[in-house]
Structure 1
């Protein structure tokens, strides 16, 4: 969903309705087939032989992502990198077995994706495969920390979504009591919510593998294919039709392409190169935001989103624009422990009138956000199939700027037996999905909260982004004064 100018009829066709128009259609029956082929591991070994697998329709959001990948298979923005720092006496064999336990438990980790002969996206769910953990050692004095190189440990720099594995791991030993577990995966596999589940369950499986006592395995969870079936059924429901009608009315006549003052000229060729800025803000700032939100009778998310929307409106010079926000899309409790790409992106419509009081504008932004969130289950492709986005270039994605909340703490408690584990979140490797994306992670237990800003360097100069961040942080710090006006 990255922005672009006209980049060719192939991609434009997808955004103008080819993929989006399929979102609400009923897709055919499941097909079983047998394939026998080796799966190369990250170190070049053989992990398993495929046996009977299932082909099922891909969910709506992934259908668009698969078409995007086929437009540019070398797109490194399709990768996600993360790492765990493990301190203590590590049992490497048990860790490798625990990774295989994760693969066996979650179908999403052994699923491949392709476009079928009719142009529809499908996913092939394979039997469990055995994880092979490539291990290397470094001098303890080198202290590389938890930041992996793109191809560290023999890990691939590019994935083919039609071939396993789409996730792999390597382990770096730093002396005898410190290890860095690196993970590289294709972003088709799962969302941020799922990554929390995987880290927690990896710790649990490792503890089971290293314990002499019997420990229960995690309870059964709903698989991603069940969510996909639920989504397809819901897309044909009366409730979905009501939500589709909301989005049709909500986006009718929406503003044109959002361009912030100081941006570079967009090239005709789409690029994914980008940078990231990370800020850690003190809890005292969060307390001020919470107090201001309470006085305005909105949530901290609504208030921070509204302040950002006001800033974007000023910088774009437009009175009608869209800002995207990512939602977990897990209203049903049965999918709370499901691993997969379930998250959805919603285009939130903002109308700005400088003649209105500041509090009135904040209330309007928060209200529009709340309206969109009430219909979060509609997949973005289905929204785009009915959207009337006035003045937009053919083939342009629905949003260029995003603002999202990650409600789960950035650093979870990970109970690895005998180890101290610390997650290193969202390791950045120079590629981005959106022109400008801000992600806020609320604090845990009175700690700092984080602000992560990712931006496309072909669209924004570093100095412009730094100025935007600085202005936004200053506005947050002055909220109580603004609320009092």
Structure 2
């Protein structure tokens, strides 16, 4: 493998995007991005970003939908300075206009409305009189209730924080934001600023944070001004070539059955957003083998996981044209990295698996497709949907319904002086897609979470899907030259063994039940 391929293998998706742009020198002038500048605040009315526009439209179709709530519940142990914590949140709301923003329609167009000032109050709910068992149950109940409570996009703020006091030195903090004003990166910005401000305010010092050079509304104006004309046409031309015609829909077999070969399951006429989650752990030994394959092939870990994920979908559906979505940070300007806001963009990754290629051959297809997608990532997903104008179906998300995300940066945990803070595990019962696999690399291996629509899948089918994905990755890591047909045969064999094992357990359970019934009858 060439030195260039070795260097490519170590690049993040964002750096791969930059590399692809540099290789297309004739297009550099087209993709150059001018600096974002502050706009006049005379009217406090601003256009929505393209990403915000999509969520606003969804909210109009289904008011009260909590699927786009971002919740971060956490437990705090120690002597918490409640006044300093409230002051910290107040300062964050002051610094970031997007947290003081609402949305209204003016002359038929949705607009951002910035509230000049807002006094943020931190409500404290006292649970100290309850028994420990009652407290724990109430914390989980309130946390789940908070995560499911919808936001009114016409009312400020689109941020809720509640503090539950469990004992003199123990609390639970329930933090919820609407996705229209935040993304995963924004949560990291919020946590960093709260930690910095709390440390200063708790000892009577002023804010050490420097003033922000721009606000999210400035980005929204810039985005609409910049993405037009030749820039827009160049981006659109690529995606229209890549996604032109009728896009395939990933149709799983009956997810509530055991076999990979059953007939498709019917779905509700309206998307329900009802969901659940299941974890996936790939051991360190497997992740190291996958990394070694990365280096040999000159690709990234994401490309291997994407190719394997699309292979898994192919094995389940028999489809050779597979479309999967993914996220990209979309914070290409330095000034956007310090902002709370909704920047993340979605890419549509389409791969043709025809011809029964080996997995290595499939990797080449995925690498080429992914690099081109990164090079054209500036087109907002929502603008792409508008232009392609696919047939709108109320029971499916547009363009793709299955998503794969590999987190490159971990959201920092909140650290406050003198306090121990841990995440609070609360079941989230809403999802945005049919199926999402969110992966992250840790020191112990690759950790993942499956988010699935419970109207289409049950837990057993997701557990089998997860086991099959691990089996597939293990086979790929050791035998990457295996053809897709052989990979499918391996999964079918595994699935058949699992099905027989479940039948045996079922028979034994029925047999034991009959024995117990006879015993009870005889005892009478």
**Taking structure 2 as the reference length, what is the TM-score of the superposition?**
0.76
User: Which range moves more in the overlay, 370-379 or 416-425?
Assistant: 416-425
Query: Structure 1 178/286 Cα, relative in aligned 2: closer, same or farther at 3 Å?
Result: farther
1:252 correspondence with 2:244: yes
Q: 1:31-430 residue pairs with structure 2 within 5 A?
A: 32=42, 54-118=44-108, 120-136=109-125, 137-138=127-128, 139=130, 141-142=132-133, 144=136, 148-149=140-141, 157-212=149-204, 216-263=208-255, 264-387=265-388, 396=396, 397-410=398-411, 412-424=412-424, 427-430=426-429
Deviations 1:391-420 (A, max 9, x none): x6656511110001222225x254412223
Deviation at 1:82, TM superposition (A): 1.1
Query: Structure 1 415/268 Cα, relative in aligned 2: closer, same or farther at 3 Å?
Result: closer
The DSSP-based 3-state class of the residue aligned with 2:312 is helix
Deviation at 1:261, TM superposition (A): 1.8
The DSSP-based 3-state class of the residue aligned with 2:436 is strand
Query: 8 Å contact 2:144–2:427 — kept in the other structure?
Result: no
1:478 correspondence with 2:475: yes
User: Which range moves more in the overlay, 179-188 or 231-240?
Assistant: 231-240
Query: Structure 1 394/451 Cα, relative in aligned 2: closer, same or farther at 3 Å?
Result: closer
The DSSP-based 3-state class of the residue aligned with 1:261 is coil
Deviation at 1:352, TM superposition (A): 0.8
Residue of structure 2 equivalent to 1:16: none
The DSSP-based 3-state class of the residue aligned with 2:278 is strand
**Taking structure 1 as the reference length, what is the TM-score of the superposition?**
0.82
Query: 8 Å contact 2:73–2:173 — kept in the other structure?
Result: yes
1:431 correspondence with 2:430: yes
Deviation at 1:270, TM superposition (A): 2.5
Deviation at 1:266, TM superposition (A): 1.3
Query: Structure 1 344/146 Cα, relative in aligned 2: closer, same or farther at 3 Å?
Result: farther
Q: Name the count of aligned residue pairs.
A: 430
Query: 8 Å contact 1:222–1:337 — kept in the other structure?
Result: no
Query: Structure 1 130/140 Cα, relative in aligned 2: closer, same or farther at 3 Å?
Result: farther
Query: Structure 1 229/194 Cα, relative in aligned 2: closer, same or farther at 3 Å?
Result: same
Deviations 1:246-265 (A, max 9, x none): 11111113532221122431
Query: Structure 1 365/422 Cα, relative in aligned 2: closer, same or farther at 3 Å?
Result: same
The DSSP-based 3-state class of the residue aligned with 2:467 is helix
Query: 8 Å contact 1:434–1:455 — kept in the other structure?
Result: yes
Query: Structure 1 90/107 Cα, relative in aligned 2: closer, same or farther at 3 Å?
Result: same
Deviation at 1:354, TM superposition (A): 4.5
Query: Structure 1 225/424 Cα, relative in aligned 2: closer, same or farther at 3 Å?
Result: farther
- Between the aligned partners of 1:75 and 1:440, the Cα distance in structure 2 is 26
Mark the runs of 5 or more structure 1 residues left unpaired by the alignment: 1-28, 34-53
Query: 8 Å contact 2:197–2:207 — kept in the other structure?
Result: no
The DSSP-based 3-state class of the residue aligned with 2:322 is strand
Query: 8 Å contact 1:288–1:479 — kept in the other structure?
Result: no
The DSSP-based 3-state class of the residue aligned with 2:181 is coil
Query: 8 Å contact 1:66–1:115 — kept in the other structure?
Result: no
User: Which range moves more in the overlay, 397-406 or 473-482?
Assistant: 473-482
Q: 2:451 aligns with which of 431, 454, 462?
A: 454
- Between the aligned partners of 2:409 and 2:78, the Cα distance in structure 1 is 26
Deviations 1:5-24 (A, max 9, x none): xxxxxxxxxxxxxxxxxxxx
The DSSP-based 3-state class of the residue aligned with 1:171 is strand
- Between the aligned partners of 2:340 and 2:138, the Cα distance in structure 1 is 24
Moved over 6 A (4+): 151-156
The structure with the greater share of residues assigned to helix is: 2
Superposition RMSD in Å:
2.6
Deviation at 1:215, TM superposition (A): 6.2
Mark the runs of 5 or more structure 2 residues left unpaired by the alignment: 1-38, 256-264, 483-524
The DSSP-based 3-state class of the residue aligned with 2:118 is coil
Deviation at 1:173, TM superposition (A): 2.1
- Between the aligned partners of 1:265 and 1:368, the Cα distance in structure 2 is 32
Query: Structure 1 161/393 Cα, relative in aligned 2: closer, same or farther at 3 Å?
Result: closer
Deviation at 1:58, TM superposition (A): 0.4
- Between the aligned partners of 1:93 and 1:343, the Cα distance in structure 2 is 33
Deviation at 1:134, TM superposition (A): 1.6
Residue of structure 1 equivalent to 2:516: none
Query: Structure 1 146/59 Cα, relative in aligned 2: closer, same or farther at 3 Å?
Result: farther
Query: Structure 1 480/275 Cα, relative in aligned 2: closer, same or farther at 3 Å?
Result: same
- Tell which structure's C-alpha radius of gyration is larger: 2
Query: Structure 1 357/293 Cα, relative in aligned 2: closer, same or farther at 3 Å?
Result: same
